[in-house]
Amino acid sequence: MGGTHKPNILVFSPIQTEVDAYADRIRNSGFISVKTAKTLEEAEKYLPGTEVILGWNFPTQLLCKPIASSVRWFQSMGAGVNDLIADQSIPQNITLTRIMDQFGAYISEYVFLFLLDIVKDGPRMKQSQLERRWDPFISETLKGKTIGIAGLGSIGAELVRKARAFDMYVHGLSFSGKQATLVDLHFTPDQWGEFVKDLDYLVLTLPLTNSTYHIINQDLLLAMKPNAYLINVGRGALIDEGDLLSVMREGHLQGAVLDVFETEPLPKEHAFWSMPNVFVTSHLSGPSTINEVSNFFIENLKRFSSEQPLSGMVDRNRGY
Protein backbone atom coordinates (compact mmCIF):
# COMPACT_ATOMS: atom_id res chain seq x y z
CA MET A 1 0.00 0.00 0.00
CA GLY A 2 2.97 2.34 -0.54
CA GLY A 3 1.94 5.81 -1.65
CA THR A 4 -1.66 5.55 -0.48
CA HIS A 5 -3.31 8.20 1.63
CA LYS A 6 -4.06 7.26 5.25
CA PRO A 7 -6.98 9.41 6.41
CA ASN A 8 -7.82 10.74 9.85
CA ILE A 9 -10.56 8.54 11.29
CA LEU A 10 -13.16 9.15 13.98
CA VAL A 11 -14.95 6.17 15.54
CA PHE A 12 -18.22 7.07 17.23
CA SER A 13 -20.53 4.92 19.36
CA PRO A 14 -22.19 5.61 22.71
CA ILE A 15 -20.55 2.44 24.06
CA GLN A 16 -16.99 2.93 25.38
CA THR A 17 -15.86 -0.70 25.02
CA GLU A 18 -17.05 -0.71 21.42
CA VAL A 19 -15.20 2.38 20.29
CA ASP A 20 -12.01 1.13 21.93
CA ALA A 21 -12.35 -2.26 20.25
CA TYR A 22 -12.90 -0.68 16.83
CA ALA A 23 -10.01 1.72 17.26
CA ASP A 24 -7.64 -1.10 18.23
CA ARG A 25 -8.56 -3.17 15.20
CA ILE A 26 -8.24 -0.23 12.84
CA ARG A 27 -4.84 0.79 14.22
CA ASN A 28 -3.63 -2.80 14.04
CA SER A 29 -4.47 -2.85 10.35
CA GLY A 30 -2.02 0.00 9.77
CA PHE A 31 -4.33 3.02 9.91
CA ILE A 32 -2.95 4.71 12.98
CA SER A 33 -4.72 8.08 12.97
CA VAL A 34 -7.84 7.04 14.87
CA LYS A 35 -9.76 9.12 17.41
CA THR A 36 -12.74 7.87 19.41
CA ALA A 37 -15.82 9.65 20.72
CA LYS A 38 -18.95 8.53 22.55
CA THR A 39 -20.68 11.86 23.25
CA LEU A 40 -21.62 14.92 21.21
CA GLU A 41 -18.98 16.94 23.07
CA GLU A 42 -16.21 14.47 22.27
CA ALA A 43 -17.31 14.34 18.64
CA GLU A 44 -17.21 18.15 18.43
CA LYS A 45 -13.68 18.14 19.82
CA TYR A 46 -12.31 15.60 17.34
CA LEU A 47 -14.24 16.46 14.16
CA PRO A 48 -11.84 19.15 12.88
CA GLY A 49 -9.48 17.39 10.47
CA THR A 50 -11.50 14.14 10.44
CA GLU A 51 -11.95 12.72 6.94
CA VAL A 52 -13.66 9.41 7.71
CA ILE A 53 -16.28 8.52 10.33
CA LEU A 54 -17.22 5.01 11.41
CA GLY A 55 -20.40 5.65 13.36
CA TRP A 56 -23.44 4.39 15.22
CA ASN A 57 -26.01 6.82 16.63
CA PHE A 58 -23.77 9.68 15.55
CA PRO A 59 -24.94 13.24 16.38
CA THR A 60 -25.50 14.05 12.71
CA GLN A 61 -26.47 17.67 13.42
CA LEU A 62 -22.71 18.30 13.67
CA LEU A 63 -22.08 17.28 10.08
CA CYS A 64 -23.41 20.48 8.50
CA LYS A 65 -21.24 22.66 10.75
CA PRO A 66 -17.87 24.11 9.72
CA ILE A 67 -16.00 21.81 12.15
CA ALA A 68 -17.08 18.89 9.93
CA SER A 69 -15.98 20.41 6.65
CA SER A 70 -13.15 17.91 6.21
CA VAL A 71 -15.45 14.85 6.43
CA ARG A 72 -15.66 13.05 3.11
CA TRP A 73 -17.03 9.61 4.02
CA PHE A 74 -19.41 8.27 6.67
CA GLN A 75 -19.44 4.48 7.18
CA SER A 76 -22.49 3.29 9.12
CA MET A 77 -22.10 0.28 11.41
CA GLY A 78 -25.48 -1.07 10.23
CA ALA A 79 -27.12 -2.40 7.08
CA GLY A 80 -30.23 -0.23 7.18
CA VAL A 81 -29.60 3.48 6.57
CA ASN A 82 -33.09 4.90 6.12
CA ASP A 83 -32.51 7.24 9.10
CA LEU A 84 -29.29 8.60 7.63
CA ILE A 85 -30.84 9.12 4.21
CA ALA A 86 -33.79 11.01 5.69
CA ASP A 87 -31.44 13.12 7.79
CA GLN A 88 -31.28 16.58 6.17
CA SER A 89 -28.27 17.61 8.26
CA ILE A 90 -25.90 15.29 6.40
CA PRO A 91 -24.39 17.19 3.46
CA GLN A 92 -24.83 15.50 0.10
CA ASN A 93 -21.11 15.62 -0.58
CA ILE A 94 -20.39 13.18 2.26
CA THR A 95 -20.28 9.66 0.85
CA LEU A 96 -22.51 7.29 2.81
CA THR A 97 -21.76 3.56 3.03
CA ARG A 98 -23.55 0.79 4.87
CA ILE A 99 -22.47 -2.68 5.94
CA MET A 100 -23.27 -5.24 3.25
CA ASP A 101 -22.91 -8.98 2.87
CA GLN A 102 -22.17 -9.42 6.55
CA PHE A 103 -25.65 -10.30 7.67
CA GLY A 104 -26.56 -13.21 5.40
CA ALA A 105 -25.36 -15.91 7.77
CA TYR A 106 -26.79 -14.28 10.89
CA ILE A 107 -30.19 -13.43 9.51
CA SER A 108 -30.69 -16.67 7.60
CA GLU A 109 -29.78 -18.71 10.69
CA TYR A 110 -32.28 -16.67 12.71
CA VAL A 111 -35.02 -17.22 10.12
CA PHE A 112 -34.41 -20.96 9.87
CA LEU A 113 -34.38 -21.31 13.66
CA PHE A 114 -37.93 -19.98 13.73
CA LEU A 115 -39.09 -21.83 10.60
CA LEU A 116 -37.90 -25.10 12.11
CA ASP A 117 -39.23 -24.29 15.58
CA ILE A 118 -42.63 -23.66 14.01
CA VAL A 119 -42.76 -26.63 11.65
CA LYS A 120 -41.26 -29.20 14.05
CA ASP A 121 -43.17 -27.77 17.05
CA GLY A 122 -40.13 -27.22 19.23
CA PRO A 123 -42.29 -25.75 22.04
CA ARG A 124 -44.24 -29.03 22.33
CA MET A 125 -40.99 -31.01 22.54
CA LYS A 126 -39.79 -28.79 25.39
CA GLN A 127 -43.12 -28.91 27.21
CA SER A 128 -43.12 -32.73 27.03
CA GLN A 129 -39.65 -32.81 28.55
CA LEU A 130 -40.73 -30.46 31.37
CA GLU A 131 -43.56 -32.86 32.15
CA ARG A 132 -41.33 -35.97 31.71
CA ARG A 133 -43.88 -37.15 29.18
CA TRP A 134 -42.98 -39.57 26.37
CA ASP A 135 -44.71 -37.94 23.44
CA PRO A 136 -43.64 -39.26 20.01
CA PHE A 137 -45.75 -36.93 17.89
CA ILE A 138 -45.31 -36.51 14.15
CA SER A 139 -44.50 -33.03 12.91
CA GLU A 140 -44.56 -31.56 9.45
CA THR A 141 -41.49 -30.74 7.38
CA LEU A 142 -40.17 -27.61 5.70
CA LYS A 143 -39.61 -29.90 2.72
CA GLY A 144 -42.43 -29.21 0.28
CA LYS A 145 -43.50 -25.91 1.88
CA THR A 146 -43.40 -22.61 -0.02
CA ILE A 147 -41.34 -19.69 1.23
CA GLY A 148 -41.61 -16.20 -0.23
CA ILE A 149 -38.68 -13.87 0.15
CA ALA A 150 -39.33 -10.17 -0.33
CA GLY A 151 -35.99 -8.57 -1.15
CA LEU A 152 -33.31 -10.51 -2.99
CA GLY A 153 -30.20 -8.69 -1.86
CA SER A 154 -27.36 -10.46 -0.07
CA ILE A 155 -29.64 -11.47 2.82
CA GLY A 156 -32.44 -12.67 0.57
CA ALA A 157 -30.00 -14.62 -1.58
CA GLU A 158 -28.66 -16.42 1.49
CA LEU A 159 -32.22 -17.31 2.52
CA VAL A 160 -32.86 -18.70 -0.95
CA ARG A 161 -29.75 -20.85 -0.74
CA LYS A 162 -30.76 -22.37 2.60
CA ALA A 163 -34.39 -22.82 1.54
CA ARG A 164 -33.09 -24.91 -1.39
CA ALA A 165 -31.17 -27.14 1.00
CA PHE A 166 -34.47 -27.72 2.82
CA ASP A 167 -36.23 -28.64 -0.46
CA MET A 168 -38.69 -25.77 -0.20
CA TYR A 169 -40.39 -24.04 -3.09
CA VAL A 170 -38.87 -20.56 -3.28
CA HIS A 171 -40.73 -17.51 -4.52
CA GLY A 172 -39.20 -14.05 -4.54
CA LEU A 173 -40.17 -10.42 -4.98
CA SER A 174 -37.63 -7.76 -5.76
CA PHE A 175 -37.52 -4.26 -7.16
CA SER A 176 -34.61 -4.64 -9.53
CA GLY A 177 -35.35 -8.18 -10.73
CA LYS A 178 -31.61 -8.70 -11.11
CA GLN A 179 -31.72 -11.85 -9.00
CA ALA A 180 -34.96 -13.19 -10.49
CA THR A 181 -33.27 -16.36 -11.72
CA LEU A 182 -32.47 -17.38 -8.13
CA VAL A 183 -36.07 -18.28 -7.37
CA ASP A 184 -38.72 -20.63 -8.75
CA LEU A 185 -41.16 -17.76 -9.28
CA HIS A 186 -40.26 -14.08 -9.36
CA PHE A 187 -42.65 -11.20 -8.77
CA THR A 188 -42.29 -7.45 -9.19
CA PRO A 189 -43.64 -4.75 -6.86
CA ASP A 190 -46.87 -4.45 -8.87
CA GLN A 191 -47.60 -8.11 -8.07
CA TRP A 192 -47.61 -8.15 -4.26
CA GLY A 193 -51.07 -9.73 -4.09
CA GLU A 194 -50.12 -12.54 -6.46
CA PHE A 195 -46.82 -13.01 -4.64
CA VAL A 196 -48.23 -13.54 -1.14
CA LYS A 197 -51.30 -15.65 -1.86
CA ASP A 198 -49.64 -19.09 -2.11
CA LEU A 199 -46.99 -18.72 0.58
CA ASP A 200 -46.62 -20.76 3.75
CA TYR A 201 -43.99 -18.29 4.98
CA LEU A 202 -43.43 -14.68 3.92
CA VAL A 203 -40.03 -13.29 4.92
CA LEU A 204 -39.37 -9.55 4.65
CA THR A 205 -35.75 -8.54 4.01
CA LEU A 206 -36.52 -5.27 2.20
CA PRO A 207 -34.93 -1.90 2.96
CA LEU A 208 -37.28 0.78 4.26
CA THR A 209 -37.93 3.34 1.52
CA ASN A 210 -40.82 5.48 0.38
CA SER A 211 -42.02 2.57 -1.74
CA THR A 212 -41.84 -0.03 1.03
CA TYR A 213 -43.24 1.97 4.00
CA HIS A 214 -46.29 0.07 5.35
CA ILE A 215 -46.23 -2.15 2.27
CA ILE A 216 -47.67 -4.96 4.41
CA ASN A 217 -51.12 -3.63 5.17
CA GLN A 218 -54.52 -5.15 5.86
CA ASP A 219 -55.28 -5.92 2.21
CA LEU A 220 -52.05 -7.84 1.70
CA LEU A 221 -52.33 -9.64 5.03
CA LEU A 222 -55.83 -10.81 4.13
CA ALA A 223 -54.52 -11.96 0.75
CA MET A 224 -52.19 -14.37 2.55
CA LYS A 225 -53.31 -17.90 3.44
CA PRO A 226 -55.01 -17.96 6.88
CA ASN A 227 -52.43 -20.45 8.14
CA ALA A 228 -49.38 -18.62 6.76
CA TYR A 229 -46.59 -17.09 8.82
CA LEU A 230 -45.10 -13.60 8.48
CA ILE A 231 -41.44 -13.06 9.37
CA ASN A 232 -39.89 -9.59 9.46
CA VAL A 233 -36.12 -9.16 9.62
CA GLY A 234 -36.08 -5.97 7.53
CA ARG A 235 -37.45 -2.85 9.18
CA GLY A 236 -40.45 -2.46 11.46
CA ALA A 237 -42.23 0.11 9.31
CA LEU A 238 -42.45 -2.28 6.35
CA ILE A 239 -45.53 -3.50 8.23
CA ASP A 240 -48.54 -1.45 9.30
CA GLU A 241 -48.45 -2.81 12.85
CA GLY A 242 -52.02 -1.72 13.59
CA ASP A 243 -53.27 -3.67 10.57
CA LEU A 244 -51.22 -6.72 11.59
CA LEU A 245 -52.65 -6.63 15.11
CA SER A 246 -56.25 -6.39 13.99
CA VAL A 247 -55.89 -9.04 11.29
CA MET A 248 -54.25 -11.48 13.69
CA ARG A 249 -56.82 -10.79 16.40
CA GLU A 250 -59.46 -11.87 13.91
CA GLY A 251 -57.62 -15.17 13.59
CA HIS A 252 -55.98 -14.59 10.22
CA LEU A 253 -52.35 -15.79 9.93
CA GLN A 254 -51.06 -18.69 11.99
CA GLY A 255 -48.27 -16.61 13.46
CA ALA A 256 -45.64 -13.92 13.09
CA VAL A 257 -41.95 -13.66 13.89
CA LEU A 258 -40.96 -10.04 14.43
CA ASP A 259 -37.39 -8.90 15.03
CA VAL A 260 -37.96 -5.25 14.07
CA PHE A 261 -40.64 -2.75 15.04
CA GLU A 262 -41.88 0.73 14.20
CA THR A 263 -40.74 1.81 17.68
CA GLU A 264 -37.64 0.22 19.16
CA PRO A 265 -37.22 -0.91 21.86
CA LEU A 266 -40.74 -2.30 21.54
CA PRO A 267 -42.72 -0.57 24.34
CA LYS A 268 -43.32 -2.75 27.41
CA GLU A 269 -47.09 -2.45 27.11
CA HIS A 270 -47.24 -3.46 23.43
CA ALA A 271 -49.68 -6.28 22.65
CA PHE A 272 -47.13 -8.16 20.52
CA TRP A 273 -45.16 -9.21 23.63
CA SER A 274 -47.95 -11.41 24.95
CA MET A 275 -49.67 -12.74 21.84
CA PRO A 276 -49.27 -16.52 21.87
CA ASN A 277 -48.62 -16.77 18.14
CA VAL A 278 -46.23 -13.82 17.88
CA PHE A 279 -42.53 -14.34 18.46
CA VAL A 280 -40.87 -11.07 19.51
CA THR A 281 -37.10 -10.66 19.42
CA SER A 282 -35.01 -7.57 20.03
CA HIS A 283 -33.61 -6.52 16.64
CA LEU A 284 -30.87 -9.13 17.03
CA SER A 285 -31.21 -11.17 13.85
CA GLY A 286 -28.42 -9.27 12.07
CA PRO A 287 -26.11 -7.93 14.73
CA SER A 288 -23.25 -5.64 13.77
CA THR A 289 -20.54 -7.62 15.48
CA ILE A 290 -17.34 -5.73 16.10
CA ASN A 291 -15.23 -8.24 14.18
CA GLU A 292 -17.38 -8.24 11.08
CA VAL A 293 -17.97 -4.50 10.98
CA SER A 294 -14.25 -3.87 11.57
CA ASN A 295 -13.27 -6.19 8.76
CA PHE A 296 -15.76 -4.58 6.40
CA PHE A 297 -14.60 -1.07 7.35
CA ILE A 298 -10.89 -1.88 7.08
CA GLU A 299 -11.37 -3.36 3.60
CA ASN A 300 -13.25 -0.21 2.66
CA LEU A 301 -10.50 1.98 4.18
CA LYS A 302 -7.98 0.31 1.90
CA ARG A 303 -10.21 1.05 -1.07
CA PHE A 304 -10.65 4.66 0.10
CA SER A 305 -6.91 5.10 0.49
CA SER A 306 -6.20 3.82 -2.99
CA GLU A 307 -9.17 5.68 -4.49
CA GLN A 308 -11.07 2.56 -5.50
CA PRO A 309 -14.90 2.39 -5.34
CA LEU A 310 -16.23 1.69 -1.83
CA SER A 311 -18.39 -1.31 -0.86
CA GLY A 312 -21.91 -0.67 0.42
CA MET A 313 -22.33 2.69 -1.33
CA VAL A 314 -25.68 4.25 -0.45
CA ASP A 315 -27.72 5.78 -3.27
CA ARG A 316 -29.82 8.49 -1.59
CA ASN A 317 -32.36 8.52 -4.41
CA ARG A 318 -32.81 4.75 -4.52
CA GLY A 319 -33.17 4.85 -0.74
CA TYR A 320 -30.55 2.26 0.34
Contacts to its own copies by CB under 8 A:
105-106, 109-110, 112-113, 116-117, 119-120, 122, 125-126, 128-129, 132-139, 141-143, 161-162, 164-167, 264-266, 268, 273-274, 279-284, 287, 289
Check if the beta carbon of residue 10 is closer than 8 Å to that of residue 43: yes
Q: In the complex, what is the shortest distance from the CB of residue 136 to its own copies, in angstroms, rounded to a whole number?
A: 4
Strand partners, 52: 9, 73
Complex with its own copies: residue 108 or 212, whichever CB lies closer = 108
Reduce the DSSP state of residue 311 to 3 states and report it: coil
User: CB pairs under 8 A, 24+ apart, for 243-251?
Assistant: 243/216, 243/217, 243/218, 244/216, 245/271, 245/272, 246/218, 247/218, 247/221, 247/222, 248/275, 248/277, 248/278, 251/226
Assess whether 283 carries a catalytic annotation: yes
Q: In the complex, what is the shortest distance from the CB of residue 190 to its own copies, in angstroms, rounded to a whole number?
A: 32
Check if the beta carbon of residue 173 is closer than 8 Å to that of residue 186: yes
Dihedral, CA of residue 258, residue 255, residue 243 and residue 241, to nearest 10: -10
Q: In the complex, what is the shortest distance from the CB of residue 117 to its own copies, in angstroms, rounded to a whole number?
A: 6
Complex with its own copies: residue 41 or 131, whichever CB lies closer = 131
Check if the beta carbon of residue 192 is closer than 8 Å to that of residue 220: yes
d(CA 275, CA 143): 28
Complex with its own copies: residue 6 or 270, whichever CB lies closer = 270
d(CA 95, CA 185): 36
Assess whether 318 carries a catalytic annotation: no
Assess whether 264 carries a catalytic annotation: yes
Q: In the complex, what is the shortest distance from the CB of residue 14 to its own copies, in angstroms, rounded to a whole number?
A: 14
Complex with its own copies: residue 71 or 111, whichever CB lies closer = 111
Looking at 264, 299, 316, 318, which residue is catalytic?
264
Q: In the complex, what is the shortest distance from the CB of residue 279 to its own copies, in angstroms, rounded to a whole number?
A: 7
Looking at 51, 283, 292, 303, which residue is catalytic?
283
Give the burial class of 177: count Cβ atoms within 10 A of its Cβ; 0-12 exposed, 13-18 middle, 19 or more buried.
middle
Complex with its own copies: residue 112 or 213, whichever CB lies closer = 112
Which residue numbers are catalytic?
235, 264, 283
